[in-house]
Amino acid sequence: MQRCWTTRRASTASRSTPEQIRISAADIAAHAAAAPNSVRDALVQAAERIEAFHRRLMPADLDYRDDVGVRLGARWRPLDAVGLYVPGGTAAYPSTVLMNAIPARVAGVQRVAMVVPTPDGALDPAVMAASEIAGVTEIYRVGGAQAVAALAHGTETIAPVDKIVGPGNAYVAAAKRLVFGTVGIDMIAGPSEILVVADGANEPAWIGADLLSQAEHDEDAQAILITNDSAFATQSWRRHGAVIVVRSLDEAPALINRLAPEHLELAVDEPLPLAEAVTSAGAIFLGRHTPEAIGDYVAGPNHVLPTARSARFSSGSRRWISSSARPSSAATPRASRKSARRP
C-alpha cells in the first residue's frame, strides 16, 4: 500500500477529494471543446451509425392468447443503472465510450456512471467529447479493480449500479469476475483476437495490416490467417500469429467454429456462403473491402465482443437486454474509402 502511495499515477488518485473524483460538467465541456474538429466530426459520424444499428436491434415485446384463452407475454425493460469502465492508463479509448454508452441510451437506461483512470490528473479531450456526444454526465476519475468495486458496492461518492460493462486489463477482468452476482457484467474479456480467411487474390499488405490491427493491442493478442494459398501465407504473416494452409476454403468453417474468434474477416469473392456456415464468431466482416477496423469505429455493430472461444455461447451486441445475434458488416471499396477519410 505504501508503494502505491508513492507512485506518480496512484498518488494522483490518492490525493483526490470526493469532490475532485467526480468530473464536473464544466470540466467535461472544457476538455471536450479541446478535441480537434476532425476528431469530433468522426465521433459524431460513428455515434450516429452506432445508434442507428442498435435501434434496429431492439427486440419487440410479446403478447398473445393461446388456444385455450390464456394470455401470455414477455416484456423487455432497460436496466436502471449501468457502470461503464473506460480504459485510460496507457491510451485513450473514445470509441469504447460510444460503443457502451449509446446502446444504453437507446435501451432507455436512466443512469450511466462512467469511470476512467486519469494518469497525472489529465483528461483526454477525445474521451470527454465522446462522453458529451453520448450524453454521459456522471464521470469519475478512478480506474482499475477499485473502480469496479466502487461501481458494484458503492461508496460515499459513487452510487452502486446494476451492471458493469467495458474492457480493461487483467486486474479489471478479475475484479469483474469477483463482483459478478452482486452486479451483472457484460463478460470476462480476454486479449483481443482476429481470424482472417483469405485467398491468394488479396493484397498481402492489406491482410497483414488487418492481422496487426488486433495483434498490436496486447502481446497476448491472437491473430490467425486461414488461406488456401501457401505463397500468400508467407507474404502476409512472417513473424507473428499463426497461419493455417488448407486444401480448400470449404474446410475453413469447421476451423472457425472450433476457434470461435472475436473478429472474423472473410476476404474472399463470395463471403456469404462461408458466413452461413459459421456458428461461432463475435463479429463477421464480409468481403475484401471490409477491414475489422471499420467495426472498431464506424460500422455500427458493437465492438465489445466475446473472446477466448466464448463466442460459442455468447454475443456482445445487446448486453443491455438480451442477445444471441452475430453481427456482420460488409463494405464496398467506395464506402471503405469514405469511412477511412474520417479519422
What residues act catalytically?
Answer: 262-263
* C-beta atoms surrounding 126 within 10 Å: 21
Cell of 49: 451509425
Helix (H, G, I), strand (E, B) or coil at 73: strand
Cell of 198: 483469405
Residues 265 and 225 sit within 8 Å (Cβ to Cβ) = no
Residue keyed to cell 474509402: 337
Question: CA 209 to CA 227: how far, in whole Å?
Answer: 16
Tell me the Ramachandran region of residue 196: left when phi exceeds 0, alpha when psi lies from -120 to 50, beta otherwise.
beta
Helix (H, G, I), strand (E, B) or coil at 125: helix
- Residue (of 176, 214, 170) closest to 190 by Cα position: 170
Helix (H, G, I), strand (E, B) or coil at 223: strand
Across 230-247, b (16+ Cβ under 10 Å) vs e yields: eebbeebbeeebebeeee
* Residue 259 CA, distance from chain mean position: 19
* Cross-sheet strand order for the sheet of 193-198: 242-245, 222-227, 193-198, 263-267, 283-286, 328-330
